[in-house]
């Protein structure tokens, strides 16, 4: 059975390797060279601070005892990188899904990603959020939140097209 655990100080160390120190969405090109923007501590602080302010920031997904996925999400204003996305800007009324990742290849295409997305959607609905948006990728699944086909199958609609990374949206209300 799949369960999502909110990231806490205690379970932070379980986040899949690279995701633990990936600060792509939390930084801009201007500040990516600063050493403090490459540390796990910075990522942990961001996750805990946004969790406290918004009630959601990151989840670790387990299927029984096995870790199968990691998700990070917050409002667009919490992700400085989005300022650099000039062509399509996620809406302020939507939660931005920055990443949904199943790290082990052998766990992909077994339905975990779909279950995680559905659980996240249920949580966001319960909390009264209006919509969820992400940049999906047309040409490949190598993308922080995965391929376009995955989101279209799960009810998302394209809100802004024009590149390999269309902005997709699902209304929650
Ligand atoms: C994308 C991802 C989140 C999907 O989760 P998953 O558990 O593998 O997906 P599920 O088994 O729940 O669902 C798979 C569905 O998506 C579809 N899908 C998967 N990859 C696809 C692609 N490239 N294009 C279109 N559809 C795709 C499958 O066909 C399947 O649809 P179906 O159920 O109708 O057959 C996961 O595979 C993943 O994290 N992949 C790695 C992506 C990556 O490289 N990320 C880089 C991180 S920076």
- Residue 4, pLDDT score: 97
For ligand 1, say whether the CB of 25 is within 6 Å of any of its atoms.
no
Q: Please give the model's pTM, rounded to 2 decimal places.
A: 0.95
Residue range 128-171, pLDDT digits in tens: 999 999 999 999 999 999 999 999 999 999 999 999 999 999 99
- Residue 86, pLDDT score: 85
39 alpha-carbon distance from chain centroid: 19
Cα separation of 66 and 2, whole Å? 9
Report the run of H or E that residue 122 belongs to, with start and end.
Answer: helix 112-126
Given a contact cutoff of 8 angstroms between Cβ atoms, the answer to whether 74 and 96 are in contact is yes
What is the number of the ligand 1 atom nearest to the C-alpha of 114? 12
- Residue 95, pLDDT score: 98
Half-sphere CA count of 60, side-chain side, radius 13 A: 20
For ligand 1, say whether the CB of 112 is within 6 Å of any of its atoms.
yes
What is the number of the ligand 1 atom nearest to the C-alpha of 141? 23
Half-sphere CA count of 83, side-chain side, radius 13 A: 10
- Residue 36, pLDDT score: 67
Say how many Å lie between the CA of residue 36 and the centre of ligand 1: 32
Half-sphere CA count of 5, side-chain side, radius 13 A: 20
Taking 50 as the pLDDT cut, the residues of the chain under it are: none
For ligand 1, say whether the CB of 144 is within 6 Å of any of its atoms.
yes
Domain annotation for the chain: domains and CATH numbers: 2-171 (3.40.630.30)
Question: Around Cβ 87, how many Cβ atoms within 10 Å?
Answer: 9
């Amino acid at each position: 059975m799949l369960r999502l655990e909110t990231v806490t100080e205690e379970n932070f160390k379980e986040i899949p390797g690279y995701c633990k120190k990936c600060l792509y969405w939390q930084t801009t090109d201007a500040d990516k060279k600063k050493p403090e923007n490459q540390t796990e501590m910075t990522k942990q602080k961001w996750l805990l601070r946004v969790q406290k302010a918004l009630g959601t920031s990151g989840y670790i997904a387990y299927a029984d005892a096995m870790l199968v996925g990691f998700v990070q999400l917050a409002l667009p204003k919490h992700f400085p990188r989005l300022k650099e996305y000039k062509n399509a800007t996620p809406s302020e009324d939507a939660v931005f899904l920055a990443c949904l990742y199943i790290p082990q290849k052998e766990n992909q295409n077994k339905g975990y990603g779909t279950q995680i997305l559905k659980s996240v959607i249920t949580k966001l609905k319960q909390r009264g959020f209006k919509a969820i948006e992400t940049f999906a990728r047309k040409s490949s699944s190598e993308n922080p939140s995965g391929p376009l086909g995955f989101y279209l199958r799960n009810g998302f609609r394209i809100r802004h097209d024009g590149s390999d990374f269309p902005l997709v949206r699902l209304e929650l209300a």
